[in-house]
Amino acid sequence: MIDRLIERIEELQNPTVVGLDPKLPMIPENLKEEAFETYGQTPKAVAAMFYQFNKAIIDQVADIVPAVKPQIAMYESYGPDGVKVFADTVAYAKQKGLIVIGDVKRSDIGSTSAAYATAHLGAVEIGSQTYFPFNEDFATVNPYLGTDSIDPYFETMKRYDRGLFVLVKTSNPGSGELQDQVFEKTGLTLYETVGALVSKWGEDFRGKYGYSDIGAVVGATHPEQGTRLRKQLPHVFFLVPGYGAQGGTAQGLKGCFDKDGRGAIVNSSRGIIAAWQNKYKDRFKPEEFALAARQAALDMKQDLTSVL
């Protein structure tokens, strides 16, 4: 799966992933009205408008970005109807040729992690039928419980050719509180320790470009740490959140890439999907939100490729 992601990045010359994290205030009035008319003031209405919003953006970016990353929290906050639209969004994006990174940050003890693996990357057998519950290509996971909480994903990953991105160094301002503390025994920080585990877990999952299907989340808001991790983890591909709205710059995240310009994909959510009400408020009408997203995605591509 990592090979497919790398190849698609190279075909499009664009190491960008668009975060599909809709919120109600981002939805243009025309979509809102239509959904409220059909479904009333219900979660179904919000789900319907999120889906229309996502579809329009996917249609506009599918030929310029390799991947999208829906953040499931935004959908979960509208209950089961919201979660259904998360699944529908994954399906639509894949139909349009996009690689889908499910930003779900799941984590649990072994047998329960296996259920999450099935949910997000695998399939269940129901009688004689096989059913793919959410069907993402990659899922993000949290390492706090250790190796035996992550290895239940491996079988599912191999069987269905999927990938993981493990939280290593997150983009939030307070990520250092635990992640940057140094362990006595090894002299490594918590995040470096997790990074080393991610590298080890990935040994059986390396593809033809030297990167493994088990990548790491490394926030764009910590340039020096990103640069150091890139050197320490030559086989670990990075998913880099925090560009744009959270303050990460192209110059700052240059160090997350290797000498061939590979090794990372950078996420932007609000900066792209809400461009119609921010950066491009004056250039596009609200109904043209998807065109504004396309333009913002092109800007980001240019910004990133200018430093690589």
Residues from 128 through 167 that contact its own copies (CB under 8 A): 128-129, 131, 133-134, 142-149, 167
CB of 204 to its own copies, least distance (A): 18
Q: Where are the alpha helices (DSSP H) in 29-143?
A: 29-39, 43-61, 72-76, 79-95, 110-121
CB of 111 to its own copies, least distance (A): 9
CB of 144 to its own copies, least distance (A): 5
Q: Which amino acid is at 227?
A: T
Give the pair of three-digit tokens for residue 71: 């953040």
Restricted to residues 81-120, the positions that interact with its own copies (CB under 8 A) are 82-84, 86-87, 105-110, 112-113, 115-116, 118-120
- What is the spatial distance between Cα 260 and Cα 227, in angstroms, rounded to a whole number? 14
Q: Which is nearer to its own copies, 56 or 117 (CB)?
A: 117
Q: Which is nearer to its own copies, 106 or 294 (CB)?
A: 106
Restricted to residues 248-307, the positions that interact with its own copies (CB under 8 A) are none
Count of residues that bind its own copies according to CB under 8 A: 74
Tell me which DSSP letter residue 210 carries. S
Torsion of CA 102, 105, 107, 111, to 10 degrees: -10
**Cβ of 48: how many Cβ atoms within 10 Å?**
20
- What is the spatial distance between Cα 81 and Cα 27, in angstroms, rounded to a whole number? 17
Q: Is 193 in the site for its own copies (CB under 8 A)?
A: yes
Q: Which is nearer to its own copies, 60 or 107 (CB)?
A: 107
Q: Which is nearer to its own copies, 10 or 108 (CB)?
A: 108
Q: Is 38 in the site for its own copies (CB under 8 A)?
A: no
Please calculate the CA angle 161-137-98 and round it to the nearest 5 degrees: 120
Q: Among all residues, which ones are annotated catalytic?
A: 105
Binding window for its own copies (CB under 8 A); candidates: 37-45, 58-66, 206-214, 252-260: 37-45
Restricted to residues 224-243, the positions that interact with its own copies (CB under 8 A) are 241
- What is the spatial distance between Cα 105 and Cα 94, in angstroms, rounded to a whole number? 20
Give the pair of three-digit tokens for residue 64: 């310029």
Q: Which is nearer to its own copies, 229 or 291 (CB)?
A: 229
